[in-house]
Chains A and B, each alone.
Chain A
Amino acid sequence: MILRPVISTLALRPAIRIRWHWTWLTPLVLFMGIMAGTAIGETPIALDTILKVLANQLWGAGYAVDRIDAGIIWNYRLSRAILAACCGAGLALAGVVLQALLRNPLADPFLMGISAGASTGAVAVTIAGFGAGVVTLSLGAFAGAGLAFGLVVMLAHAASSGTGGGRSTQAAGAIILAGIAGSQLFNALTAFIIARSASAEQARGIMFWLMGNLSGVRWEDVTLGLPTAVAGLLVCLWYRRALDAFTFGADSAASLGIPVRRVRGILIASMALVTAVMVSMVGAIGFVGLVIPHAMRFLVGSRHTRLVPASALAGAVFLIAADILSRILVPGQVLPIGVVTALVGAPAFALILVRGTRTK
């Protein structure tokens, strides 16, 4: 009780200056997360072996390391852990932005069908076989994501204006319903494309990928995923005050000097692109964009100067942890990572839903 006012003045002051310890704590946490993701697995690997392999690869230190261990670490686990971090950060940021701009606590790239649209786009490209490189896949996914987002928002808009009145209270429900409709439509499209044109072999691979799968990750993926996540983070940080300005809605943002259409367009397009790139590499991983921003709002407040970096970091660590769990939960078998995030995310979703109705 006595702590409450102290915490609120410390954590929620608007004169936000990034405290100095975050400048070393953030990279440290991220590094430890990636190390854990590399060390833990079916064959546990000692930390010093990992560091030796890192030293060998980065500046040719020439330590004697077991060939197989070195292969597992460098070609398999490290790239996987880094990409997991990128995806987690990217998806969490997409959640932060969508929730801020749509003024809706349940906005999330997965629930709103953006991930489903991206899957459809990526599958279409895979089957059509336009070279199927990481970039063409991402472009296909981006087209699908944009289409899905447009459709869902239009549908939600029509649904909430059709029933009239109480826009803010109904919008939350409308967007979820529209998201379900959009997800179903695009999942059906994906299933149709697979059934129509994929071979049995292809179909199996795609179905596994759809549930979220990091096992095929290579360095090539990291070279696309890392710049995308970093660019997404920079865009969000650049527009952090604009995101804050939407606190009381779009009109209020406009009267605070935000060119609403342009800012909204830039932010949503870039987050759709981030989501699309991530989905095209690892499949539709759900709930990261929902759980992480809400948890971070609770910890650091809802001002985006803090929320954006905190969510990116937490998303990265969360997805590495989810990936580790997916590998060790069932011995000898790798679960789709989407299963793990849903196990955490679905209860969190329910909690937000219940709390949301109670405050009304």
Chain B
Amino acid sequence: MRLAAERIDWSVHGHKLLNDVSLRVAPGETFGLIGPNGSGKTTLLRVLAGLRKPRTGRVLVNDASMYAMRQRDIARIIAFVEQQAETLDRIVVREAVALGRTPFLSALQPWSEQDDAIVAQALANVGMAHLADRLWHTLSGGERQRVHIARALAQQPRILLLDEPTNHLDIRHQLSILSLVRQLSVTVVIALHDLNQAMECDRIGVMDGGRLVDVGPPSQVLTAERLRHTFGVHADFLDDPVDHRRIMRFRSAL
């Protein structure tokens, strides 16, 4: 599904966190959001997920304004993986993933075999099936992150928003989550810190000080000039001897 943001402004206590951000993500596209800390990536994702309503501007889902939709209908289309959502409840992994079925169930509609199958599939997709009966508070940070992703998958979304999903993961799971995300035939907007991982996206957008300063294919956006200007680092570009793709190596600018 197509996701678009039109001229979004968002400020908190007089601080402008998002400044006139417009964005169009095509159906099935994997769109990476990069930018330094505090550049507004998380805020933009929250607005796109419908968790925050901007004072000006709007979010469009397949050209229809999100603000005319019910929360439940939004949740049937868009799933959002936050950074570090925690709980003190004694729940097991499967229960946490089962929450993803919430938008499809109602007070009178019982849990079905099909819901069971969807949850099991989501757990398998993130490699957590063997931990389905573990209690939440016994999991490591990376395992928790994978459970959150599984919950989003159980929502069977057509648009998936991920806020730095690889943050707590070991390298193997970073790669497997990213390749899973790319394989999904859904529209993905993903905030990333690792710029080499961002190279794998179809397009990327660069956030800086609440503005979306550049959008385009990774190889065109991630130039030495851009990296110096926005991230304050010096970059050298190397050639990967295996697949001849570009690798970036960073140094402090001074």
**Which of A's residues lie within 8 Å of B, judged by CB?**
5, 8-9, 12-17, 103, 105, 168, 237-242, 244-245, 247-249, 251-252, 254-260, 297-298, 301-303, 356, 359
Which residue of the partner chain B has the closest CB to A258?
Answer: B71
Assess whether A258 is in contact with B102, with CB atoms less than 8 Å apart: yes
Q: How far is the CA of A184 from the CA of B78 in the complex (A)?
A: 46
B245 at interface by CB-CB < 8 Å: no
Which residue of the partner chain B has the closest CB to A297?
Answer: B90
Which residue of the partner chain A has the closest CB to B85?
Answer: A248
Assess whether A302 is in contact with B90, with CB atoms less than 8 Å apart: yes
Which residue of the partner chain B has the closest CB to A263?
Answer: B71
- CB of A161, distance to nearest CB on chain B (Å): 11
Helix, strand, loop or mixed for chain A's interface?
helix
Assess whether B51 is in contact with A254, with CB atoms less than 8 Å apart: yes
Of the listed stretches B16-24, B111-119, B196-204, chain A binds B111-119
Assess whether B102 is in contact with A244, with CB atoms less than 8 Å apart: yes
Which residue of the partner chain B has the closest CB to A305?
Answer: B111
Assess whether B133 is in contact with A241, with CB atoms less than 8 Å apart: no
Assess whether B71 is in contact with A257, with CB atoms less than 8 Å apart: yes
A239's partner among B85, B90, B99, B107 (CB-CB below 8 A) is B107
B98 at interface by CB-CB < 8 Å: yes
Assess whether B133 is in contact with A5, with CB atoms less than 8 Å apart: yes
Assess whether A257 is in contact with B90, with CB atoms less than 8 Å apart: no
Q: How far is the CA of A282 from the CA of B87 in the complex (A)?
A: 35
- CB of B29, distance to nearest CB on chain A (Å): 21
B89 at interface by CB-CB < 8 Å: yes
Q: How far is the CA of A249 from the CA of B74 in the complex (A)?
A: 18
Q: How far is the CA of A92 from the CA of B119 in the complex (A)?
A: 31
The answer to whether A257 and B51 touch (CB under 8 A), given A12-B91, A359-B88, is no
B94 at interface by CB-CB < 8 Å: yes
Q: How far is the CA of A246 from the CA of B30 in the complex (A)?
A: 29
B25 at interface by CB-CB < 8 Å: no
Q: How far is the CA of A241 from the CA of B106 in the complex (A)?
A: 8
Identify 7 residue pairs between A and B in the complex whose beta-carbon atoms are under 8 Å apart, listed by A's number: A12-B94, A239-B107, A240-B107, A244-B99, A255-B75, A255-B80, A259-B72
Assess whether B107 is in contact with A8, with CB atoms less than 8 Å apart: no
Residues of B within 8 A of A5 (CB): 133
B221 at interface by CB-CB < 8 Å: no
Assess whether B111 is in contact with A245, with CB atoms less than 8 Å apart: no
- CB of A350, distance to nearest CB on chain B (Å): 17
Apart from A257-B76, A257-B102, 17 more pairs, CB < 8 Å: A12-B133, A14-B97, A17-B111, A105-B88, A237-B107, A247-B91, A247-B96, A247-B99, A248-B86, A248-B96, A252-B99, A254-B50, A256-B99, A259-B71, A298-B90, A301-B90, A303-B91
- CB of B72, distance to nearest CB on chain A (Å): 4
Residues of A within 8 A of B73 (CB): 257
B191 at interface by CB-CB < 8 Å: no
- CB of A152, distance to nearest CB on chain B (Å): 20
Residues of B within 8 A of A240 (CB): 107
A16's partner among B88, B102, B111 (CB-CB below 8 A) is B111
Which residue of the partner chain B has the closest CB to A252?
Answer: B85
Assess whether B116 is in contact with A251, with CB atoms less than 8 Å apart: no
Residues of A within 8 A of B148 (CB): 248
- CB of A95, distance to nearest CB on chain B (Å): 14
- CB of B67, distance to nearest CB on chain A (Å): 13
B105 at interface by CB-CB < 8 Å: yes
Q: How far is the CA of A103 from the CA of B99 in the complex (A)?
A: 16
B107's partner among A238, A257, A298 (CB-CB below 8 A) is A238
Assess whether A256 is in contact with B103, with CB atoms less than 8 Å apart: yes
Closest 10 CB pairs of A and B: A257-B75, A257-B103, A14-B98, A257-B72, A248-B85, A256-B102, A255-B80, A302-B89, A14-B95, A259-B71
B85's partner among A105, A249, A258 (CB-CB below 8 A) is A249
Q: How far is the CA of A103 from the CA of B155 in the complex (A)?
A: 23
Assess whether A12 is in contact with B82, with CB atoms less than 8 Å apart: no
B137 at interface by CB-CB < 8 Å: yes
The answer to whether A168 and B119 touch (CB under 8 A), given A12-B95, A255-B80, is no
A259's partner among B70, B86, B91 (CB-CB below 8 A) is B70
Residues of A within 8 A of B51 (CB): 251, 254-255
B235 at interface by CB-CB < 8 Å: no
Assess whether B102 is in contact with A303, with CB atoms less than 8 Å apart: no
Residues of A within 8 A of B76 (CB): 257
Assess whether B75 is in contact with A8, with CB atoms less than 8 Å apart: no
Residues of B within 8 A of A259 (CB): 70-72
B34 at interface by CB-CB < 8 Å: no
Taking CB atoms and an 8 Å cut-off, the chain B residues in 178-194 that contact chain A are: none
B33 at interface by CB-CB < 8 Å: no
- CB of B107, distance to nearest CB on chain A (Å): 5
Q: How far is the CA of A239 from the CA of B108 in the complex (A)?
A: 10
- CB of B175, distance to nearest CB on chain A (Å): 26
Assess whether A256 is in contact with B100, with CB atoms less than 8 Å apart: yes
Assess whether B115 is in contact with A15, with CB atoms less than 8 Å apart: yes
Residues of A within 8 A of B98 (CB): 14-15
Assess whether B99 is in contact with A245, with CB atoms less than 8 Å apart: yes
Q: How far is the CA of A260 from the CA of B74 in the complex (A)?
A: 13
Residues of B within 8 A of A252 (CB): 82, 85, 99
B79 at interface by CB-CB < 8 Å: yes
- CB of A89, distance to nearest CB on chain B (Å): 19
The answer to whether A247 and B89 touch (CB under 8 A), given A255-B80, A257-B76, is yes
Assess whether A255 is in contact with B87, with CB atoms less than 8 Å apart: no
The answer to whether A302 and B99 touch (CB under 8 A), given A248-B85, A251-B82, is no
Q: How far is the CA of A245 from the CA of B135 in the complex (A)?
A: 17
- CB of B117, distance to nearest CB on chain A (Å): 11
